[in-house]
Amino acid sequence: MRHPARLLGLATVTALLIIALPVTLTLLPTTSVLAQSTPADRASEADRLVQQGFEQVNRSQFREALQSWEQALEIYRDIQDRRSEGQVLGNLSGAYYSLGDYRRAIEFLEQSLPIFRELDDRRSEGNALNNLGLAYRDLEDYRRAIEFYEHSLPIFRELNDHRSERVALENLGDAYFDLGDSRRAIDFHEQALTIARELDDPRSEGNALGNLGLAYSNLGDYRRAIDYHEQHLAIARNIDHRAGEGAALGNLSNAYQSLGDYSRAIDFQEQALAIARELDDRRNEGAVLGNLGNSYLSLSDYSRAIDFQEQALAIARDLSDGAGESRTLNNLGLVYLSLGDYHRAIEYHEQALAIARETGRRGSEGTYLGNVGIVYWSSGDYRRAIEYYEQHRAIARDIGDLRGEGDALGNLGGAYLSLGDYRQAISFIEQALEIFRDIGVRAGEGIALDNLGNSYRNLGQEDRALEFYGQALAIFNVLGSRAEIGRTLGNIGKLLNAKTQPELAITFLKASVDVRESIRGDIRGLDTNLQQSFTDTVAADYRLLADLLLEQGRIPEAQQVLDLLKLEELREFTNTRATWTGTALAYTAAEQPVIDAHGSLIALSSAILTCEDTNCAELNSLYDQREALTAQYNDQVNQFANTIRANRRDDEDFQDPQELSDDAKSLLSAYAVEGQTPVLIYPFVLEDKLWLVWAIEGRVIGSAEVPVTQGELANTVQRFGELLTAPTRLDELQAQGQQLYNWIIQPLEAELAANNIDHLIFVNDRVTRYIPMAALYDGEQFLAERYQISTVLTPGTTDTRSRLADVESSQVLGLGLTQAVANFNPLPAVATELDSIVQSGDDDAIGIYPGQVLLNEAFTLEALKANLRPDYQVLHLATHAAFVPGRADESFIVMGNGDRFTTADIEDMNARLDNLHLVILSACQTAVGGPAGDGAEITGISSYFLGTDDSRAETVIASLWAVNDTSTSVLMQRFYTLLATGELTKAEALRQAQLSLLYEEDAETRLAAARRGAPIPTAREGFDVAVTESGYRHPYYWAPFILIGNGL
């Protein structure tokens, strides 16, 4: 369940609006009026000092300019030149403003204002009032800023000074925007836009359009905001205003991020960053870097978020930009909050808070207090969190910050919700809701409604909760906020499940998954490390949906959800290795009318919201339609419930055990054609249980529930893997292997025997991806002794159409490393391995497959690219490799010259990999993945070589742990020897090579046994003390390699 406090807090602080302010403080040149008694040389000296100050300002030497103007001020006061005195006071104010010392800026402006009034200098008076407004705005005293702007506006109108009038209107709009009153802001910006167009001032027109876009974003009307920002962008590009172009790109980025379109958001930010650097605009460069950090935080890419925020922080400190420094410190606090490092989060927030207080920026002070409260809430200290939220609320009320007050109230509601004081929580959230509705902040309104749903759900008032969820969905639908829509639909599904309506819960969870799938499709173009974070935010709903389907006996649908989840996880890890070729998740005939009726009701409610905003003439008619649609939806739900009760066991909409996904059916059929009887096994890991879903050819599928928690399973897998890292402690290894066998294989034993299964194809999940299935132990035999074994990423991503050609047509490109390089030990057996496998020319008497070998210095990236010709079907890499969990871009294979062959290099070689059928990664940990140790990013480096639709290889053989150099060489030689006979599939050739080590037999003996279908040897006396044996019988030697993909 989403917690309200956290989201509301983040919403107020993580989005920095990049806005090109239309006005800066006005620096006024002096015009000396010499009194008869004033020596001309003193006036000339003062004028010279004023001019010198301007030159210093142009060089950004503000402190030097201050010295020049202070000397001039003393002279003008001495000679009683009041006009020049007032003008220099204004210039001193401007210099202090540029240095971020707004209090001193105000001090000098307040000294200049009575002088201008005394002289009846209305223009200078208007400028001083405007600049006072700017200074108070930067101090975040928006009410005071508005007061000064409102005093300046009639002066500019009196003078018929339309340009300054436009400036005052623009600044009023900005101040009301800062207060969260976006509707008032829009009114002033529209007036400013009209004047800019009348003056034919395209730059000011672009600024006004950009500010209108920001106001509509704050209202949650992101599509309209994008329209304004695109107009601003077009104008800026047309007049070659690069700074304006950068501002428009930054604002477009924020709008698309609000819509959940992270790919476009980051693209716009990167363009804005390039412009800021081109213009050497360090302040804006820092702002854009901070925005990029916020985007990566939204994607849970904490490493990049920290990197960008730290770059922004360095710039802010270099510029002595207190506001930028405090903002960035605050955002770093948010990153560490997301990482669960509460101590560092509070440190950063308190540093930000100290700067805000030192510079008198009360609005930021309130925001940072609220974020400190969020940290305490996250750590479970709800009472202390409430103290900080109350301080935030008090400041927001004092300065008239309605948006801040609404956020503080929402966070207070979340804290009381956590304390179990649901009535108090509802009271605060309702107050927040009222504020958001008053100021038109749709996003805040939607979040508050969703949180009210959560509150009433905790009170057990499900119907009231559903009402609020529906209202929230209507708003999110208007905003196009897909992430919020998906989350709220998931909340509805969970609520319905809690109401013991699992069938209806399934319908809404399917809708939630559909939305998440649409988002997944849009982020494929992002960096692979960003994509992997998406699964973390959605997987729980996928798993709940699959669990409910399995509990209902709806196995085909559960299998499809499992395939989607697997594919989701694959796509997070690389954007090219997995391509969905199956059908989308579908609603049953009974579910479709329910979801259609609900969708129509939400769409109509969204239309009513839009109509209410404009008070359209059709409003009463829309209300009538909503009543009718509500009744229709309730009827559909009742009919659905009746269908469930009447046909729970027989309704084909809910149970059809003969149905199997097309992809699974095709995969199993391909093996059946080759005379095998395979089974497809999905071990589906949930927190409290393990589901085993299985399917065989002939459309027979089933499932079994195993009462083992994810933690128990993970601990056993971890211990099993630890014992496999050395050829010792076989008895304990077998005990752990037997426990895993009992959980994963034993529940299916009767079905395997009844159907004469000979090949197990695993679609592994989470920690099961780390299990070398061949080494599972039934008490007498290892699993490899009984079955062929292979793994697929998903049935839909496995190409079984092609076969490896005969020996002469299947050339091998072998590359290897034998010498020590870059902190890696030598691998002397690699030379023998490759020499025994590859026959390099007619004069080479040794070797099995024709081809070419590149060793050591000859094994480079350039050589690999140059030699990977279309006639090579097999690529064999015998070297070191390393998988860096959670950082695919840092995983690599070591080349012969010590350079790293990275996953990015593999991506770049896509076209060269098209003709490969088989890739052998005879290296360490090439099949390992998973940033959190749960296997969520399956198969690591190996997966980058896999593809479908004639792209990349059909099969990869890779390792799960650091392999032994000598035994790996022997295993690989025997694998190729057996494969070259043409009598065995790739999976069976690997199995027989493994058995040859286990039984201490040569390849010819194993081939003869395979031909006869001979039973396995039974005599294994002394094998239980394999630690003392010579040879390679221990699973450490033969079990690390797994086959992924096409095993035929």
The pLDDT tens digits for 125-149 are 999 999 999 999 888 888 899 999 9
Beta bridge partners of 681: 694, 762
pLDDT above 80 (res 703)? yes
List the single range of 226-230, 370-374, 377-381, 775-779 with lowest mean pLDDT: 377-381
Would strands 849-855 and 838-839 be described as parallel, antiparallel, or unpaired? Answer: parallel
pLDDT tens track for 423-473: 999 999 999 999 988 877 777 888 899 989 989 998 999 999 999 999 999
Q: State what percent of residues in the chain have pLDDT above 70.
A: 84
* Buried-state track 257-285, b at ≥16 Cβ within 10 A, e below 16: bbbbbbebbbbbbebbbebbeeeebbebb
- Are 8 and 319 within 8 A, CB to CB? no
pLDDT tens track for 1022-1035: 344 343 345 899 99
pLDDT value of residue 1023: 45
949 to each of 410, 580, 946, how far by Cα in Å? Answer: 51, 11, 11
pLDDT tens track for 332-385: 998 888 767 788 899 999 999 999 898 878 888 999 999 999 999 988 999 999
pLDDT value of residue 6: 20
pLDDT above 60 (res 822)? yes
pLDDT tens track for 644-656: 666 544 433 333 3
**pLDDT band at residue 700, thresholds of 50, 70 and 90?**
low
pLDDT tens track for 67-106: 999 999 999 999 999 999 999 999 999 888 888 888 999 9
User: What is the DSSP track for 606-657?
Assistant: HHHHHHHHHT-TTHHHHHHHHHHHHHHHHHHHHHHHHHHHHHTTT-TTT--T
pLDDT above 90 (res 311)? yes
Between CA 936 and CA 941, with CA 937 as vertex, the angle to 5 degrees is: 155
pLDDT value of residue 610: 78
d(CA 399, CA 204): 29
Q: Please give the residue that has the higher pLDDT: either 152 or 604.
A: 152
pLDDT tens track for 490-504: 999 999 998 888 889
Q: What six digits make up the tokens of 805?
A: 């050609």
pLDDT value of residue 210: 94
pLDDT above 60 (res 1003)? yes
Phi, psi of 839 (to 5 degrees): -100, 105
* Buried-state track 153-175, b at ≥16 Cβ within 10 A, e below 16: bebbeeeebeebbbbbbbbbbbb
- 3-state SS record for 907-956: HHCHHHHCCCCEEEEECCCCCCCCCCCCCCCCCHHHHHHECCCCCCECEE
Helix (H) or strand (E) holding 559: helix 555-573
List the single range of 198-207, 547-556, 759-768 with lowest mean pLDDT: 547-556
d(CA 968, CA 580): 34
Strands laid side by side in the 900-902 sheet: 881-882, 892-894, 900-902
908 to each of 112, 425, 899, how far by Cα in Å? Answer: 65, 54, 16
Find tokens 């210093």 and name the residue: 56
- Are 278 and 300 within 8 A, CB to CB? no
pLDDT value of residue 178: 84
Q: Give start and end residues of each alpha helix (H) in 440-461.
A: 442-458
700 to each of 157, 664, 748, 798, 823, how far by Cα in Å? Answer: 83, 11, 13, 20, 52
- Are 539 and 567 within 8 A, CB to CB? no
pLDDT value of residue 764: 86
pLDDT tens track for 597-636: 888 888 888 888 878 777 788 888 888 888 888 888 888 8
pLDDT above 70 (res 25)? no
41 to each of 45, 52, 70, how far by Cα in Å? Answer: 6, 16, 18
pLDDT value of residue 556: 60
Would strands 838-839 and 788-791 be described as parallel, antiparallel, or unpaired? Answer: unpaired
- Are 139 and 169 within 8 A, CB to CB? no
- Are 441 and 403 within 8 A, CB to CB? yes
d(CA 597, CA 461): 23
Q: Please give the residue that has the higher pLDDT: either 938 or 363.
A: 363
Of these ranges, 14-23, 371-380, 818-827, the one predicted with the greatest mean pLDDT is: 371-380
- Over range 297-302, report the average pLDDT: 69
d(CA 1006, CA 1019): 16
Longest CA–CA span in the chain (Å) reads 125
Q: Please give the residue that has the higher pLDDT: either 165 or 542.
A: 165
Mean pLDDT of the chain: 82
Sign of CA dihedral 491, 495, 498, 500: negative
pLDDT value of residue 126: 94
d(CA 750, CA 748): 6
- Over range 763-784, report the average pLDDT: 90
Amino acid at 594: V
**pLDDT band at residue 948, thresholds of 50, 70 and 90?**
low
* Long-range Cβ pairs for the range 652-656 (8 Å, 24+): 653/588, 653/589, 653/590, 653/591, 654/503, 654/552, 654/553, 654/554, 654/588, 654/590, 655/552, 655/553, 655/554, 656/556
d(CA 928, CA 1044): 12
List the single range of 319-323, 420-424, 859-863 with lowest mean pLDDT: 319-323
Amino acid at 101: D
Phi, psi of 560 (to 5 degrees): -70, -40
Find tokens 């299947």 and name the residue: 810
Strands laid side by side in the 872-878 sheet: 700-706, 690-696, 678-685, 759-762, 788-791, 1041-1045, 955-959, 918-922, 872-878, 811-816, 849-855, 838-839
* Buried-state track 333-362, b at ≥16 Cβ within 10 A, e below 16: bbbbbbeebbeebbbbbbbbbebbeebbbb
pLDDT tens track for 869-928: 888 999 999 988 876 544 556 678 899 989 998 878 887 887 778 788 999 988 654 444
pLDDT value of residue 965: 84
Sign of CA dihedral 490, 496, 499, 503: negative
pLDDT tens track for 707-754: 998 778 877 887 888 888 888 889 999 999 999 999 999 999 999 999
pLDDT above 50 (res 855)? yes
Q: What six digits make up the tokens of 262?
A: 């992270």
Q: Please give the residue that has the higher pLDDT: either 508 or 887.
A: 508
pLDDT tens track for 524-535: 654 444 455 556
pLDDT value of residue 288: 93
- Are 374 and 411 within 8 A, CB to CB? yes
pLDDT tens track for 250-293: 999 988 877 667 778 889 999 999 999 999 999 899 999 998 99
**pLDDT band at residue 19, thresholds of 50, 70 and 90?**
very low
Helix (H) or strand (E) holding 704: strand 700-706
